[in-house]
Structure 1
Amino acid sequence: MSLAAEAFVSQMAAAEPWPENATLYQPLKDDQILLSDHASSLAVQAYLRMCGLPVQVVCRANAEYMSPSGKIPFIHVGNQVVSELGPIVQFTKAKGHTLSDSLDDVQRAEMKAYMELVYNMLLTAEVQKAQNI
Structure 2
Amino acid sequence: MSLLQSVIAGMDSNWAEDATLYFQDELTEISLPDFAKSLSSRTLLQMYKLKYRTERRSNAEFMSPTGKVPVFRHSGALLTGFNDLVSYVNIKTKSLDSHLDDKARCDMNAYMAMVEGVLSNAEVYIAWNDSTVANEVTKPRYGSTYPWPLCQIIPYFKQKEMMKILSAQGWCDISQSEVCERVRRCCQALSVKLGNQQFFFGDQVTPLDALVFGHLFAIVTTVLPNNLLSSVIQDFDNLQELLRRINETYFTDEQVVSPKMHAKAKESR
Structure 2 length-normalised TM: 0.43
Q: Which residue of the partner structure matches residue 33 of structure 2?
A: 36
Q: 1:99 to 1:7 in 2, by over 3 A?
A: closer
- Give the CA deviation at 1:92: 0.8
Deviates more, 1:103-112 or 1:75-84: 103-112
Q: Which residue of the partner structure matches residue 52 of structure 1?
A: 49
Contact 1:27–1:33 under 8 Å retained in 2: yes
Contact 2:40–2:215 under 8 Å retained in 1: no
- Give the CA deviation at 1:123: 4.7
1:130 and 2:237 matched? no
- Give the CA deviation at 1:21: 2.4
* Equivalent residue runs for 1:1-133 within 5 Å: 8-13=6-11, 15-112=12-109, 113=111, 115=208, 118=213, 120-126=215-221, 129-131=223-225, 133=262
- Give the CA deviation at 1:37: 0.7
Structure label with greater radius of gyration: 2
Partner Cα separation in structure 1 for residue 61 and residue 216 of structure 2? 24
Q: 1:48 to 1:87 in 2, by over 3 A?
A: same
Deviates more, 1:94-103 or 1:58-67: 94-103
Partner Cα separation in structure 1 for residue 212 and residue 48 of structure 2? 20
Q: How many pairs were matched up?
A: 129
- Give the CA deviation at 1:125: 2.6
- Give the CA deviation at 1:117: 5.2
Residue 60 of structure 1 aligns to which amino acid in structure 2? R
Partner Cα separation in structure 1 for residue 221 and residue 37 of structure 2? 12
Residue 36 of structure 1 aligns to which amino acid in structure 2? P
Q: Secondary structure at the match of 2:43?
A: helix
Contact 1:26–1:60 under 8 Å retained in 2: yes
- Give the CA deviation at 1:119: 5.0
Q: Of Structure 1 and Structure 2, which has the larger fraction of its residues in strand? A: 1
Q: 1:124 to 1:66 in 2, by over 3 A?
A: same
Residue 9 of structure 1 aligns to which amino acid in structure 2? V
Q: Which residue of the partner structure matches residue 169 of structure 2?
A: none
Partner Cα separation in structure 2 for residue 105 and residue 90 of structure 1? 16
Contact 1:35–1:126 under 8 Å retained in 2: no
Identify unmatched segments of 5+ residues in structure 1: none
CA RMSD of superposed structures (Å): 2.5
Contact 2:19–2:74 under 8 Å retained in 1: yes
Partner Cα separation in structure 2 for residue 125 and residue 42 of structure 1? 13
Provide, for residues 42-94 of structure 1, a one-character-per-residue CA deviation record: whole Å limited to 9, x for no partner: 11111111111111010001000001111000110011100011111111112
Q: Percent same amino acid at aligned positions?
A: 27
Please list every run of at least 4 consecutive aligned residues from structure 1 whose deviation after the TM superposition is greater than 4 angstroms.
3-7, 116-120
Partner Cα separation in structure 2 for residue 59 and residue 119 of structure 1? 17
Q: 1:122 to 1:106 in 2, by over 3 A?
A: farther
Residue 103 of structure 1 aligns to which amino acid in structure 2? L
Identify unmatched segments of 5+ residues in structure 2: 112-189, 191-207, 228-261, 263-269
